[in-house]
Structure 1
Amino acid sequence: MAPPPVWLRLLASAILLLACLPGGAPDLAADAAALLAFREAVGRSALPTWNSSAPGAPCSWQGVACESGRVDELRLPGAGLIGQIPAALGNLTALHTLSLRFNALSGPLPPELAGLTELRNLYLQGNDFSGEIPPFVSSLKNLVRLNLAGNKFTGGIPLALNNLSRLGTLYLENNRLTGEIPVLDFPNLVQFNVSYNQLNGSIPAKLRSQPATAFLATGLCGGPLGRCPGEISPSPTAEGPAAGNADGAGENDHSKKKKLSGGAIAGIAIGAAALLLIVLVVLILLCRGKKARSSEAAAAGGKQMEMGAAAEPRDKSLGEGGANGNGVAAAAPAVDAASAAAGGKKLVFFGEGGTRPFDLEDLLRASAEVLGKGTFGTAYKAVLETGMTVAVKRLKDVNLQETEFREKMEAIGAIDHPNLVPLMAYYFSKDEKLLVYEYMPMGSLSALLHGNRGSGRTPFNWETRTGIALAAARGIEYIHSTGPSAAHGNIKSSNILLTKSYQARVSDHGLALLVGSASATARVAGYRAPEVTDTRKVSQKADVYSFGVLLLELLTGKAPSQALNDDGFDLPRWVQSVVKEEWTAEVFDPELLRYQNVEEDMVQLLQLATDCAAQYPDKRPSMPDVVARIEAISKSRSLASSYQDQPSIEDGDGMSPRP
């Protein structure tokens, strides 16, 4: 057989050579061409450094970042871009983030942007875009954040936006949108705003948990804006016409459902009477039992502290931590002080000459309520007859001899610092160990962060959070300064207590050395450093780890236990996983996104928190270094607390500048 012609062999060789070329090179070249077309259309004078001959082009160009041989980020906020976005931008098919906010871009969005199927973040706020919100937006199913605020978009809000199942942020405020809000349902929605539009009608049920600030200056009603005219039930979870009944439809059916038969009413009445009788019998038995116990205590010469009432803890939502850092308890047994009276035991006070503002008898007569039950025992708020209020901790699982217990108490009482909760006094007997502290009226950081997240909550601002972080760090730094092995051992948000002026103080210092192995094993879930196996032997570096988790809690608004439940791993690893995906804004507590000019400080504090929560102890900073870094962050700029419609932290670059 004759050999193939030369031209055919050359063609085959060329095809083979092209097939062997890496796929990224032609794609990156196409990305560069798309970017140059974009520059020609809207940024000839704004982007002088975009030059195809520049080393590393286009990945080295201003605002451009690449990943795996493709352009995956285009960030040009406030770059002076003018004109209409060209269709060529739709060729950047690997793009994850597109930020063109605060420019002078105008016209409708080109439909070719539908090709950006990998897009997660789209920030177009602060331009002059017009026309309706284009249908292609609803096809970008990977979108997590969408900000179209501050433009001139008209028409209605598309129902098809429900296709964006991953959406966490939707900002549409300051446009010219009209009509009603469709029935939107975003399972991951965190941030939402449609203020300053010409919208009307009832707020859909799924959006009624949003604050009133999300619907300002519109014609909307319902939910946080109050009932709509003729609305029967304000409940956002009700289904059917009765949920948002603007015209009274379904009212008759609703009334009919409430009607009960005569037999049902009679049954209810009989049941209520029987229940009342049972309650009365139980109360009589309880009263008799109480009188009998009181008589026995009096005969023995003892008294009982009035801490035995089945009082509900003040902070039900705190998980383990209570208002004074000691977890939830539905009730607590009375403190039996008969042995104290018999043995002549007294409260031992610290401070100036060991003065005694009250004695054990006064404490036992005090009215009290349960604050919480946690790692080291039960805490009570005790109001003395003089009006003085103290916090009393009734220790559990403490098996020390009196001499050793007193030595440890003397060491704890000698630790005096403005950012530590002072130990006023202690009491020791064989069966009871009591600690008396100064009462902190504002409760714990845990309560402030997680106690109430409803629409009526006052946002926990950035300045207060950094002040609490700095005060707590100084308290822990002082504990560490008292000796090379001195450590707190149980740092968590429920052990950071607050004064009336929201000054933070660290509580429970020194108690880690008192408890038995059972209590030690159970504590600091979510805060414990990876290297700690015996929590009675905690190092200063382990304290730094726990403090890092505390900082993450301040920044994210998430409790460590919440991260465990939501994602199956601890809070530091959850933060790392989110930041790794370049979704840094998703880390921060939505309440922090209200404040302008603090995004850089937030990222710096996040970096410090992750340094503290490093896997290996030698990678963590010391507490003096932590204090210095928080002080530097606090002084870096004046902290603003005004609300920002389009917080620029959304467009943050991550933990640190990308190379």
Structure 2
Amino acid sequence: MAALRVLLLILAIAASRASAPVPSPDAVALLAFKSVCSDRAGALSSWTESSDPCAAKWRGVTCRRPSLSSPARVRRVVLEGLQLGGHAAALELLADLPVLSSLSLKNNTFTGALHGVDFSRLAPHLKLLYLSGNGFSGHFPDSFLRLRHLRRLDLSGNHLAGTVPQEIGHRLRALLTLNIARNSFVGLLPGSLEAMPELAELNVSGNHLEGRVPERLASAFPASSFDGNPGLCGAPLARRCVEPQQIVYDNGRGGASNGSRTAGSGIGKTRDRWMVVMIMSAVGAAVASLVAVALCAVLLLKGRKPTRRPRAGSTPASSTVAREETVRFDGCCVEFDVATLMQGAAEMLGKGATATTYRVVMGGNDASDAAAEEARGEVVVVKRLRRRDGASRDDERRRRELTREMGTWRHANVVGLRAFYASTEELLLVFDYMPNGSLHSLLHENRGPARVPLGWQTRLKLAQDAAHGLAYLHGVSGGNLSHRHLTSSNILVDGSGNARVSDFALLQLLAPAPPGEALQKQDVHGFGVILLEILTGRQAGEYGSADLPRWAQTVAREEWTPEVFDVELPRSKGAEDEMVALLHVALLCVADNPGERPRMAVVAKMIEDIRDRGSKRSNNYSASPSQARHSYESSPCVSEDTTRSTPASSS
């Protein structure tokens, strides 16, 4: 992108070198913009090198004289529906207009990644920005968040994707209009939009947003502002927000229901208990022994607590948690229950501080032939968590509520929770199985002559994937939850080679901690250590008391020496530049002062920028003929009164 900007400036200088000096200091920027635009209809024919854009009234250009002693300067550029085209980078040439307050390029054919354009220089004056009906791509530009005086923003009818920045409402507090309709934005609708005091027009329709519409937005804007997002629910939409689909078994009361937290079926009580005991014992004990243990436990409980039975029916107010329940979420197999787990072949993968982990082939019965069993059934991972000592009924209820919340988290870079089984003694969590192991194993295991090194571009992609996943989890939990034990072993790789964050908030189920930004900053530090592992090839605990971050900081202070980078990594100029840039990001993340560490959303953006700068792939997005002809009239025409507040639209 930097090279493209330099090229555009060179072209601009070459276009104006043969002419006499231009009478306006803004003419150079406008002529540079014209020289790199496609103007099939000759709409900019009045823009000539021998004239003044203000005195000659160039098409679409409006000027204003700041004072009687100052020359007229360009204040507005309005070029709507003129069949103009070109790369998004051309727009940055207009950022050289120092007092520009209004810019509209609606219904043209510009293409390219909009997030690569820096509009920051327009921050002191820009109030109106209309870019709808083009073919812009990429994610929401971070530089837009620095336009603190912006009143109207219309990006509708483009190819923009990714998430809407969660902080948009806090950064663009002067906005009256926000229109991002007919793009491909995903994720939750930012709650910060509720904090925008003057927002009068909002349109997010025609995207892929999901979750509940924030309450204040629901009361202020009509359903048309949110239509076309299949995942959005709640008022003012007709689509109700429902709890994740679940089946609950309450073994002590009889009856079964879908989507209920209480009631259940007494049928199959002993069978379900056997299933739990079987997983507890690594699915290796004999069936007869399990039956004996279960019967002994039942008899012992009856002998020790004979008065429990009558009390169960006499205190319904305190029985807010079902004794046993099985809950499945969207994406899980329809027939999942504890019996399904018992029928599958299982093996213990490990026992850690938080849980014991099993690999289970649902529907596979013969553990001796892994390939055959995977062909017959679906592979999942089951994590077994014990009940906390001294936990009350309210503690158990909160734990199950958090588990239900975890089941709603869906992101391409997060290991999804498929289902769970909860009882008064334990919690079984069923996750997607990641066949390619962890980032830790890919980086550190089997080093030697026969090892196939993990390439730099693969490492950089995995770093970006993990950053996006962790940023999503920090955001979707409302800033209240954190990982608390983030390591390269918690970054797993799926069958498509994408990194996914696992075990987020798992410690919260075992040992609750008060919510706060400090714990998320601890996650950022852990992620910085992971980046250092990616760059150095060294393990986090390799230095004992002199940990990896301290060692990297010491080397970086001396100078950027190749010794810091993994010997398996290439030494091309481009790759080394990207490594140095990623090392800068890692050192920011592991800063000693938590307040100096960036948020994960910022970290993800920085890594994405590193990949974008290093990529030589041309942009494949272009506006289709049908889109080029389509007129987006959702935003008003640019006029001086469009900076004033208007009531929320009801249509």
| Structure 1 length-normalised TM | 0.42
Larger radius of gyration: 1
